[in-house]
Amino acid sequence: MGVNPVVRALRNSVLKGAAGRRPADALARGVEAAGQVGASASEFLRVRRDPAEAAVRRRKAAVRRANIWGAGAVVGVAGGAALTIGIVNDGVTASAVFSFILVAALVIWCLLGVIRSVRDVRARSRVLAALPPPQPGRRPVAAPIRGEIAHLDSYSDRLRQLVPMLDQRSGSTDLGREVIAAADTAEVVLRRQAQEFTGVRKAASAGPGSARARLDASSGELAGRIRAGVQEYGRLVAAAAETVAASAQLDVAATGLSGPTDRLEALTVGMQEIALHARPGGPS
């Protein structure tokens, strides 16, 4: 069966528009699109495996189960009240008694389900409270800074592994949470800068030649901020790793807890400085 000429013409026009005037442009766009698709797939799998995200999903499921059991109990109580009114008005019959027993059993079953669900919600809430918050989202970025953002991904993962160890050394979880909060703020700023860079790069590739130089200069400035921020983030994570290694060799009973605590506080301040320097108009 032949292809409809209109369909063929439309398909050819779409392919030509996607390819552009030079095959090299089409190849570059295809490689960029493939990289972004791969990054999106990796981000989807990472979110599914993130312990905090999984804990959030499980708690939401437990809350839904509690709501369902509670709705069943309410319906059963309403049905029992209706049967009671009928018995009062019409007298006691075998069918009414049998229905009342069934409804009472349903109410008891639902109430037991509510109790179990509430306990499950509380247990999952405790688990969620003990975990650090979910990591910031990792959207695809343009190829020139993809390596730096990959390093940021690795640093962020490593910091989340190190902070619980630092908490154990210092004996406090509050400082660890402050470190994570400051680090997440810095990471969000850097990733926002990366998204702005990606947008500028797309605009430069599709824009007229007169505006390309200005957009290239803007993207270069953004890339410089991102690289500097990621490098500083990595140095702070390396300092945290050194703190863990040094604290493991200390006799805490003899030396006290001031060392790890001071390092945690310094790490928090350092992460706040990264966010300050990465913002547009911040210190250079």
- What pLDDT, on the 0 to 100 scale, is given for residue 12? 54
To which residue do tokens 């660890």 refer? Answer: 176
pLDDT digits (tens, 9 = 90+) for 59-71: 999 999 999 999 9
The pLDDT of residue 84 is: 84
In tens, the pLDDT along 116-130 reads 999 999 999 988 887
Judge whether residue 256 has pLDDT over 80: no
Question: pLDDT (tens digit, 9 = 90+) per residue, 185-228?
Answer: 888 888 898 888 888 888 777 666 666 777 778 888 888 888 88
Q: Name which of 9-18, 168-177, 260-269 the model is least confident about.
A: 9-18
- The overall average pLDDT reported for the chain is 75
Q: Which tokens sit at 275?
A: 């966010």
Q: What whole-number percentage of the chain has pLDDT above 90?
A: 11
Domain boundaries, the chain: 59-130, 135-278
Identify the band that residue 257 occupies on the pLDDT scale cut at 50, 70 and 90.
very low
Residues 130-167 have pLDDT tens digits of 777 788 888 888 888 888 888 898 888 888 887 777 66
Stretch 173-185: mean pLDDT: 76
Which pLDDT value is given to residue 241? 77
Helices (H), the chain: 5-19, 23-49, 51-90, 94-130, 146-170, 174-206, 209-248, 252-255, 258-278
How far is Cα 58 from Cα 255, in angstroms, rounded to an integer? 42
| Contact (Cβ atoms closer than 8 angstroms) between residue 232 and residue 182 | no
- Give CA separation, 93 vs 69, 82, 143, in Å: 30, 15, 78
pTM of the model: 0.61
Coil vs helix vs strand at 132 = coil
Identify the residue with better confidence: 94 or 72. 72
The whole-number pLDDT of residue 97 equals 82
Distances (CA, A) of 129 to 51, 117, 139: 12, 18, 26
Q: How far apart are CA 12 and CA 25, in angstroms?
A: 17
